[in-house]
Amino acid sequence: LVGQECSLEKASFAGLTPLHHACNKNHEKIIRFLLANGCNVNGVDENGDSALHWAGSRGILNICVALIDADANLNAPNAQHVTPIHKAVIFGQLACVKRFVENGADIDAKDSNGDTPLHFAARTGFKAIVTFLVAQGAAQVANSAKLKPVDVAMDEAISEELAKAGS
């Protein structure tokens, strides 16, 4: 189909491109094929999510690596200003969070409510991600509602860790 000049960017329902679909289904060979044939690694769906948002939220590390290697924007905000690291944190995908940080993701990026990845990690109860982000120097700042990560922490262990770290 590519040889017949079919579009690699043709969006379907909800603005999903072939790359989004391939990431959603974890089809690494198709993803690599699409990337090798010039598809837009930073193309977005109708919510503004890129393929990296999708792969990070699903914890598909090999796909995240392939997308990063193809120059995916680690700090691309969607319509709610949620970046791929926010998505990975929300779904507890520590390996993806680590890879994003290693490759330059902004650990202090704020969504439309002023929430950082640390807010999401504290709120969703992913202590290992909280520990990692704190160790990486994530800022413990207040969001738009004037709440810091310690204020939204899911459990006491996370609250204690954030308080000890200087929230």
> What predicted TM-score, i.e. pTM, was given to this entire model?
0.88
Q: What are phi and psi of 44, to 5 degrees?
A: -125, 155
Dist. CA 146–CA 119, nearest whole Å: 12
Task: Give CA–CA dist 133/108, Å, rounded.
Answer: 9
Residues with Cβ within 8 Å of residue 25, at least 6 apart in sequence = none
**Tokens describing residue 79:** 């319509």
Q: What pLDDT is stored for residue 38 in this prediction?
A: 82
Tens of pLDDT along the chain (167 residues)? 444 455 555 555 556 677 877 887 787 888 888 888 888 999 888 889 999 998 999 999 999 999 999 999 999 999 999 999 999 999 999 999 999 999 999 999 999 999 999 999 999 999 999 999 999 999 999 999 999 999 999 899 999 999 998 74
Res 167: pLDDT: 46
Q: Indicate the helix (H) or strand (E) that contains 163.
A: helix 156-165
